[in-house]
Structure 1
Amino acid sequence: MKRHQFIFFAIIALMSLGCDKDENNPEEPIEESFFFEDGFETQNDLVDELFPSNGNRWSTIQQTNPTNATNEISISNTEFNEGQNALRILAYQSDSDLSKVDIEKNGLNIVSGDKVIIKADFFIVGTESIENLLLLDLECCSCWDPNVGDNYGSENQCPGVRLMMSGGNDYLSIERGKISGTTIQQTDFAFPRNQWVTVQWEMTMSDSENGLNRLIINETEVINQTGMNMPNAQVFADVFLNQGIDFTLQEPTFYERVQIGATANPTAGNMELFVDDFSIKVE
């Protein structure tokens, strides 16, 4: 009997030591991450192939045509960077309607504190000025105040940050106007034309000035600056209050979609461009 009691208490003691060890050294939580990439490869050179029924590629096409022209989006098998295909975009210049044609990935959940790395290859045809051409957007449509609706303009209902040509012609910069920030601009590295160019956009997301904004073009860092890169509730409330509008930024606030292509073409000319090797990583 005594032997059985000894074994019993020994087992209890070992179990207690095991519990103490687990409590003192808990397992590290597994951090969730997100990664999506697409090289626009297809079997039959059809845009529809980018939208399979299982939803594991792209979500939709955004297209707004100017009055007297129809923008184009297609799969190219003649101009590409890797594989055998790239996405071809032809965006006619804007008139009273802001010209757009791009491809969109929904279902993201990018929040403050996340590190985001977006990469893509672009080939922009021609040598004319492309100032104000927008190539890539991160947007938060769900954070717009539904009580305000489109009274402030439908173009502004999806606040976000964007890559835009700025600085007089073709200097790719980080545009923050839709979150009431200034453009983070560079004028040292002109965007190469009629050739494939690799763009890498890195951010540590924040609605305050401690966000990180980094832009790399063909392995050359052109921007590395702190600053807000997500909508800020107080900033939005103050901006709208100046116009007599009561605005409440919706929570939780997160970027739920990314768009790439000619997300807006307010330039003086028509834009033809190609996109390849897109990826977005969220940590």
Structure 2
Amino acid sequence: MKRHKLIFLSIIILFFFGCDKDENNPKESLAESFLFEDGFETQNDLLDELFPSNGSRWSNIQQTNPSNAINEISISDTEFNEGQNALRVLAYQSDSDLSKVDIEKNGLNIISGDKVTIKADFYIVGTASIENLLLIDLECCSCWDPTVGDNYGSENQCPGVRLMMSGGNDFLSIERGKISGTTMQQTNFPFPRNQWVTVQWEMTMSESENGFNRLVIDGTEVINEVGMNMPNAEVFRDVFLNQGIDFTLQEPTFYERVQIGATANPTAGNIELFVDDFSIKVE
């Protein structure tokens, strides 16, 4: 009898120790979070400092000049929101070539179901119309069908979602044309000019219509809509079939890069802007 009591007591002790071990060492979540942030701070006001050899900051610059001018990108120490520096961009108006100049972060792995928050401060100089100016692109270049190549236009080879001035001059909206969706447009809150403005773009990623899309400008919510925000294989197949092209969206489908600046300037004028305090968070 005594022996049975000892065995029973041992089992109880082992049970409590096992529970204590599980509580102190909970299982790690299978989902990995990701955060990249950069305030464009440098020691010597040199753009090269944003591209260290260890890849911890930015990846490269995207620059397409119009035929009659050369776009500019540099570090500013005169106009900034925090710290002592900001990114300065000057994009001349497009002609036969679509003008663009921006900075790019590669190596992302944003998939369906991820919650993404992109935040940045912008200062757009002047009061002229900036309709169709693009500020942020989230792109999937690896999902493009390599057999199609640039037969559909090289500009379309990286499908994605973008922030674009739309609806007349300066209403920042969510543009989805490169994934064959309509623009989520707002015309209630014009983008403030000649001052620092905080933009926050939130998404729950989905290739179906249950994706979540929210845009906040200086603390004011201007868009809160559900809708597709990732390339959809069936949609792409149908769109291309209408033009006699057999297209297969490549898998796995994920967004691997983000761009910020004047990601395209199809406006009728030159654009000068500054960017500060960028961050992208993926959960």
Q: Which deviations, in whole Å up to 9, do the C-alpha atoms of 1:136-195 show, x marking residues without a partner?
A: 000000000001011100000000000000001100000000000000000000000000
Q: What is the root-mean-square deviation in Å for CA atoms of aligned residues?
A: 2.1
- Equivalent-residue separation in structure 2 for 1:72 and 1:235 (angstroms): 37
State how many pairs are aligned.
280
Amino acid at match of 1:79: E
Q: Which deviations, in whole Å up to 9, do the C-alpha atoms of 1:224-248 show, x marking residues without a partner?
A: 0000000000000000000011100
- Equivalent-residue separation in structure 1 for 2:222 and 2:5 (angstroms): 71
Gap change, CA 1:189 and 1:22, over 3 Å in 2? same
Amino acid at match of 1:122: F
> What is the CA-CA distance between 1:16 and the residue it aligns to?
7.4
Report what 1:37 is aligned to. Answer: 37
TM-score, normalised by the number of residues in structure 1: 0.93
Amino acid at match of 1:275: V
Q: Which deviations, in whole Å up to 9, do the C-alpha atoms of 1:23-55 show, x marking residues without a partner?
A: 9xx944323100000000000000000000111
- Equivalent-residue separation in structure 1 for 2:195 and 2:15 (angstroms): 66
Report what 1:71 is aligned to. Answer: 71
Report what 1:204 is aligned to. Answer: 204
Instruction: Please identify runs of 4+ aligned residues in structure 1 that moved more than 4 A.
Output: 2-23
TM-score, normalised by the number of residues in structure 2: 0.93
> What is the CA-CA distance between 1:68 and the residue it aligns to?
1.0
Gap change, CA 1:145 and 1:22, over 3 Å in 2? farther
> What is the CA-CA distance between 1:208 and the residue it aligns to?
0.5
- Equivalent-residue separation in structure 2 for 1:69 and 1:164 (angstroms): 23
Report what 1:226 is aligned to. Answer: 226
Q: Where does 1:1-283 land on structure 2 (aligned, <5 Å)?
A: 27-30=26-29, 31-283=31-283
Q: Which deviations, in whole Å up to 9, do the C-alpha atoms of 1:116-137 show, x marking residues without a partner?
A: 0000000000000000000000
- Equivalent-residue separation in structure 2 for 1:81 and 1:20 (angstroms): 50
Gap change, CA 1:54 and 1:242, over 3 Å in 2? same
- Equivalent-residue separation in structure 1 for 2:98 and 2:53 (angstroms): 30
3-state SS of the aligned residue for 2:107? strand
3-state SS of the aligned residue for 1:104? strand
> What is the CA-CA distance between 1:13 and the residue it aligns to?
7.8
Gap change, CA 1:22 and 1:251, over 3 Å in 2? farther
- Equivalent-residue separation in structure 1 for 2:96 and 2:76 (angstroms): 30
- Equivalent-residue separation in structure 1 for 2:151 and 2:126 (angstroms): 38
- Equivalent-residue separation in structure 2 for 1:91 and 1:180 (angstroms): 27
Gapped regions of structure 2 (runs ≥ 5): none
- Equivalent-residue separation in structure 2 for 1:20 and 1:198 (angstroms): 47
3-state SS of the aligned residue for 1:281? strand
- Equivalent-residue separation in structure 2 for 1:19 and 1:40 (angstroms): 49
3-state SS of the aligned residue for 1:255? coil
3-state SS of the aligned residue for 1:279? strand
Amino acid at match of 2:96: S
- Equivalent-residue separation in structure 2 for 1:111 and 1:120 (angstroms): 22
| Percent of aligned positions that are identical | 81
> What is the CA-CA distance between 1:17 and the residue it aligns to?
8.2
- Equivalent-residue separation in structure 2 for 1:88 and 1:268 (angstroms): 20
3-state SS of the aligned residue for 1:108? coil
- Equivalent-residue separation in structure 2 for 1:90 and 1:176 (angstroms): 25
- Equivalent-residue separation in structure 2 for 1:57 and 1:135 (angstroms): 19
- Equivalent-residue separation in structure 1 for 2:17 and 2:231 (angstroms): 47
3-state SS of the aligned residue for 2:109? strand
Amino acid at match of 1:29: E
